[in-house]
Amino acid sequence: MKITNEQAEYLLTLPKKVVENNTLLDELTIEQQYPFHDRFELVSERDDDFSFLWEIKQSKKNSIRISLHCQEDDSKTGLLRVDYNGGHTNPMEVTEFVPEKFRPYAGKSFSVNEHHIHYHVEGYSSLAWAIPLSVDEFAIKEIKQGPDFNHTFAETIKLFAKTIHIETAIAVNILLL
């Protein structure tokens, strides 16, 4: 599925609900475990032409990815992903479709310590472009290991849900160690 930057923005801002067993959920409780990996199907009551996949993934090395993909048939197009403790390299080539905020980061290699956020950019492979979280509006800039890790991880999940306009109320049962 090829979509424009404007279509991607529209899809991000559509109000969405979690779907489970063909039922739209008004609330969802996520049971946090380690390492965490879960996927949720989302739909919009406003525009049911699209379905979405919300994925939260934590590796044993504490790389954390929270992503939203628009699904069409068997294909999926990435719309947004936040990466903590994961590396990435942006494309070198800048086309007319690359938004201005990405241009200073052409060819940038993010180390595992440079937390970043990916956006859809028209004409590139899925989520090929990222910018540092330090320059983005996403409020949780890092998730540090330590006593506040599980609480911050839970807050990050809820912030991402809010960012992608999930209307299902999200609660997270924090892992107690």
End-to-end CA distance of the chain: 42
Q: Which of 71, 123, 85 is nearest to 102 (CA)?
A: 123
Supply the pLDDT for residue 91. 98
Tokens representing 132 are: 């540092």
- What is the residue-level pLDDT of the chain in tens, covering all 177 positions? 689 999 999 999 999 999 999 999 999 999 988 888 999 999 998 988 889 999 999 988 778 898 989 876 567 899 999 999 999 999 999 999 999 999 999 999 999 999 999 999 999 999 999 999 999 999 999 988 778 888 899 999 999 999 999 999 999 998 765
Contact (Cβ atoms closer than 8 angstroms) between residue 163 and residue 80: yes
Ordered by start, the domain boundaries in the chain are: 5-173
Burial 124-148 (b: 16+ CB within 10 A, else e): eebbbbbbebeebebebeebeeeee
Q: How confident is the model over 103-151, as pLDDT tens digits?
A: 999 999 999 999 999 999 999 999 999 999 999 999 999 988 778 888 8
Please state the pTM of the whole predicted model.
Answer: 0.93
